[in-house]
Amino acid sequence: MPVVNWLKKNLVVIAGLVTLAFLLLPNVVVTVFSFNKPKGRFNYEWQEFSTDAWKDPCGVADMCGSLSLSLQIALWATVGATVLGTMIAFALVRYRFRARGVVNSLIFLPMAMPEVVMAASLLTLFLNLGAQLGFWTILIAHIMFCLSFVVVAVKARVMSMDPRLEEAARDLYAGPVQTFVRVTLPIAAPGIAAGALLAFALSFDDFIITNFNAGSTVTFPMFVWGSAQRGTPVQINVVGTAMFLIAVVLVLASMAIGNRRGKRKA
């Protein structure tokens, strides 16, 4: 039974490859169809290979504008949520204050709330406050829902930090600012970076909350949704593929740096 034996030996590898394929197949489809030249307005059937869309990524009206808006919102939402979330995480881990336990639980509640309900409620809130819907309401909403995720990521890291390290820094002539910049921040950095990446990803492709609170502003996910009703330009796939590639390059780069460091130190 050589086949059975071979299967037995390689079962883990096979299962891994199948899972990986399952995970990455949609990305492959996005990439492949970014080279399609569709007949008509919908990019749902393969016709022929073309690089037209890659040569003219902003060829669709309003798309690049919405993309730029989404990137800006994601960037500011990441900055806002990361700064606030990091401070909250430090406060929750390092300080004993009244209602600390309550705050600890409350921070995570937004994660449990169904997004569509949250979106509708936010709209109600903004309307009652008389806020003008647009960039700022979107940004405020994004910072709000990213915050919990940043707190979770940073808190895990801060909890594993030895407070003696900061005492050691203070003992070695580092003032409060120096201690934070030279010791606390570098050690907490992986957690903060993870929180920031998560916030960026969540903000960039959020549709539901954004759609409710955007007014007449159109972000990239809203643009894709809107165009899907009338026809999907290939450029959408180009943007998707580009984002994916940027992410892959970033991951590879960080792995390469990590490897080089590891080798140099060893």
Partner 1 sequence: MKTTDNSGDVRLSGISKTYGSFTAVHPLDLTVPQGSFFALLGASGCGKTTTLRMIAGLEEPTSGTVHLGDQDVTALPPYKRPVNTVFQSYALFPHLDIFENVAFGLRRRGIKSVKKQVEEMLELVQLGEQARKKPHQLSGGQQQRVAVARALINHPKVLLLDEPLGALDLKLRRQMQLELKRIQTEVGITFVHVTHDQEEAMTMADTVAVMNAGRVEQLGSPADLYENPQTTFVANFLGTSNLIETEVDTKSGDDIVLKAGGGKLLLPSERCAAPATAGGRVLIGVRPEKISITHADDAGTITEGRNRITGKIADASFIGVSTQYVIDTPVCDEFAVYAQNVERDGRLVPGADVVLHWNPAHTFGLDAAQDIDAGIEEEAV
Q: Which one of the spans 24-32, 115-123, 172-180, 234-242 is the region binding partner 1 (CB under 8 A)?
A: 172-180
Nearer to partner 1, 39 or 100 (CB): 100
Binding residue for partner 1, selected from 5, 173, 216, 229, defined by CB under 8 A: 173
- Per the DSSP assignment, residues forming a β-bridge with 193 are none
- Rule CB under 8 A: say whether 178 interacts with partner 1: yes
CB of residue 255 vs partner 1: minimum separation in angstroms? 18
Nearer to partner 1, 84 or 187 (CB): 187
Binding residue for partner 1, selected from 71, 83, 115, 170, defined by CB under 8 A: 170
d(CA 85, CA 258): 26
- Rule CB under 8 A: say whether 257 interacts with partner 1: no
Sign of CA dihedral 73, 66, 201, 260: negative
- Rule CB under 8 A: say whether 37 interacts with partner 1: no
d(CA 64, CA 50): 20
Q: Tokens standing for 83? A: 């700064």
d(CA 48, CA 35): 8
d(CA 192, CA 200): 12
Site for partner 1 in 138-167 (CB under 8 A): 162, 164-165, 167
Site for partner 1 in 180-239 (CB under 8 A): 182-183, 186-187
CB of residue 96 vs partner 1: minimum separation in angstroms? 13
3-state secondary structure 135-195: HHHHHHHHHHHHHHHHHHHHHHHHHCCCHHHHHHHHHCCCCHHHHHHHHHHHHHHHHHHHH
- Rule CB under 8 A: say whether 174 interacts with partner 1: yes
If we measure between CA atoms, which residue out of 51, 44, 48 comes closest to residue 30?
A: 44
CB of residue 224 vs partner 1: minimum separation in angstroms? 41
- Rule CB under 8 A: say whether 95 interacts with partner 1: no
How many chain residues touch partner 1 (CB under 8 A)? 20
d(CA 116, CA 123): 11
